[in-house]
Amino acid sequence: MKLSTWNVNSLTARLQHVLDWTAANPVDVLCLQELKLTDDKFPLDAIRAAGYPHCAVFGQKTYNGVAIMSREPLHEIVRNISGYADEHSRVIAATLASPAGELRLVNGYFVNGQALGTPKFDYKMSWLRGLRDYLREELALHERLMLLGDFNIVPEDRDSFDPEGLRETIHHTTEERDHFRRLLELGLVDSFRLFEQPEKSYSWWDYRMLGYPKNRGLRIDHILVSDSLKLQVKACTIDRAPRKWEKPSDHAPVIVEI
């Protein structure tokens, strides 16, 4: 079974890429972030026709918006972080059957945070605390849980093209990395690092300044799995192929196999 996550930077602008990518990579689940559209504009028909009849959508106009596309039925769909009031559509959770048993998925578009010392950074910190409290409860209810999405956090120096130059700047701050580590301490593991990976593996590249051709990227899209799932993970990869297509998203999909 293959599950994946992809920040598409507008589903309207990227629908054809989603259809092309799933045709070439017939994953069982695709978690989307940054839909930038309302629920009524979600292209259900096209996505159903592509082999994903089960969709859980939490959209928003202009910004944010997340969804889970699935070949198999989704249950217990929850929008937003329970216990944390948020005006943004950033989190959607659902349960589905997997070979290992019932699997809880939490799909998140984490706050960007702009810069240390700004109100947006404070929002990021409080949002991350809310997410952690929520996940603690979810993990108590669901032994097999997967947290997928655009974390907007570079976990370690090796996940950045310029860890020295960008030290303590957004995505690289100690505060953000502490939050990432605290998520792991809840009983989650970064599935990408369960395997040997090529050096300079990234999931996002700036549109500007030839970011992708120069591989000036960051690894900020992650798939964390709960400890009881750890032994079942067979692979985790980043697919850079769609970043080379015309009018690409600035993010690449991440895929996990269990």
Partner DNA sequence: ATGACGCATCGAATGCGA
Which residues are known catalytic residues? Answer: 109, 150
Count Cα neighbours of 111 within 13 Å in the Cβ-side half-sphere.
25
Contacting range for DNA; rule: CB under 7 A; set: 3-11, 66-74, 130-138, 178-186: 3-11
138 near DNA (CB under 7 A): no
Q: Strand (E) positions, the chain? A: 2-7, 29-33, 54-58, 66-70, 75-79, 91-98, 101-109, 145-150, 188-190, 204-205, 217-218, 221-226, 235-238, 254-257
If binding is defined by CB under 7 A, does position 117 make contact with DNA?
no
Report the residue number, 43 or 51, with the smaller CB distance to DNA: 43
The correct pick among 152, 173, 191, 226 for binding DNA (CB under 7 A) is 152
- Give the three-state DSSP class for 193: helix
Give residue 94's identity as a one-letter amino acid code. A
Binding residue (CB under 7 A) for DNA from 24, 26, 48, 61: 61
Please give the Cα distance from 142 to 246 (Å, whole number).
40
Contact track, DNA, 206-245, x by CB under 7 A: xxxx--------x-x-------------------------
Question: Pairing state of beta strands 29-33 and 2-7?
Answer: parallel
Count the site residues for DNA by CB under 7 A.
29
Q: Residue 62, interface with DNA (CB under 7 A)?
A: yes
Q: Considering only 111-119, 129-137, 138-146, 179-187, which stretch makes contact with DNA by CB under 7 A?
A: 111-119
Answer yes or no whether residue 195 interacts with DNA by CB under 7 A. Answer: no
Q: Using the rule CB under 7 A, is 159 a contact of DNA?
A: no
Radius of gyration of the chain (CA): 17
Measured in degrees and rounded to the nearest 5, phi and psi for residue 4 equal -150, 165
Query: How many separate helices (H) and strands (E) can be counted in the chain?
Result: 5, 14
Task: Show the site string, 15-34: x = touches DNA by CB under 7 A, - = not.
Answer: -------------------x
Binding interface with DNA (CB under 7 A): 7, 9-10, 12-13, 34, 36-37, 61-63, 111-112, 114, 120, 150, 152, 170-171, 204, 206-209, 218, 220, 247, 250-251
